[in-house]
Structure 1
Amino acid sequence: MWQLFQFPLCPFSRKVRLVLGEKGVAHELVRENPWEQRDEYMDLNPAGETPVLVENELGLTLIGSQPIAEYFDETVDKAPMLHGNAAARAEIRRLTAWFDEKLFHEVVEPLMNERMRKRLVSRESPDTGVLRQAMKVANGHLDYLDYLLDNRRWVAGASLSLADFAAAAQLSVVDYLGALDWRGHKQTRDWYSVMKSRPAFRPLLGERMEVIVPPAHYDKVDF
């Protein structure tokens, strides 16, 4: 069976878990705290980042959310993530990168550092200025999602795709950390409610991090 080395609040781990769940790929979760930099884990992934997926019987080690997602999209026919013609696939990849890179670096990473790592690892107080800026930028990303969903059924087009799961994985972490103001974002809120209702999403919503409690609406489909 596949072993997924992951961290519960890592959005890239969540993206992979959603893809595996949608495609029905059986796997065992192994929690990995990236800041510990364990020798055994560094041997698997010298970058020390999550996620990593291992199948010992097959002798396979897959590293990183995008390579993992594309591997299973090429090997499992169920629930295609990258589909359509070349232009449609390019748009899916563009938006997946937008959420994995831009949303992550501008919003998710600073929030995780201030509200999670400082509390769990270094025992420091969060920088309120950094938090305010990340929350402000998060609202801009919700505006962009509203724009996309005004013109499309799903984030990247007419069909559910990897871009939807990438966006939902990142937003789920921001929402867990209580940094999303959903007011005035009906299009994105309705889309996210649909994403949260998918069976693959439910295990994520049921998990809790030690000492960090999400807002009351976090695991509710109707919020």
Structure 2
Amino acid sequence: MGWFGSAERYADRRDAGRRLAPDLMVYKDRAPVVLGLARGGLAVGVEIARVLGCPLEPVFVRKIGVPHHEELAAGAVVDGPTPEIVTNPDVCRMARVPESYIAAEAARQLAEIARRRGAYLGDRPPADVAGRTAIVVDDGIATGASMRAALIAVRRAGPAALVMAVPVGADDTLREMEAEVDALVCPLRPRDFGAIGAFYRDFHQVGDGEVVALLREANGSPP
């Protein structure tokens, strides 16, 4: 992370992707596919996919927030033939989040995932990652709940290698997650970690229209 000054940040998510890409060039000839967590991870992933000359695919993950404090992740859910729910035991215990709430909120988030899948991909099935190098990308890692759910789902699909790439992440969370992947790339690991958006000058909310445009740009045809 030598190119960072003490107050330096990424310009935006695409700038972060351009900075990540050189560290991922080693996978260029290993049948890579970039899997961006929808929605912010796709804006990072589009630049990585461009440099590696590979497809960009969305991973649909939704955070399960603590009641009345939705920004605090009690867990996350990712879709698939068998939806994967990952909880944050420490947060659930601290906030006294009941299992019934997790189940109900997971069902609600899966409905939103289904809406997004239809909007972004139409009837196109998910890409087959079996035997390929799966590079899972997000715009940052705080508690890691969403990324953990994504990694479990992608690992189940049988990639030859599973790589996690993020522009910035909480150092303690990343250390815990290193054993869950074959390789981890993250150039900025501040010990005093606040909000992910603090490490970007532009951290606007990515909308559905932008996601569709990113997928079209990366893959050469409308979904």
User: Fold conserved (TM > 0.5)?
Assistant: no
TM-score by length of 2: 0.33
Specify which structure has the higher proportion of strand.
2
The structure whose RCO (Cα within 8 Å, separation 6+) is larger is: 2
TM-score by length of 1: 0.33
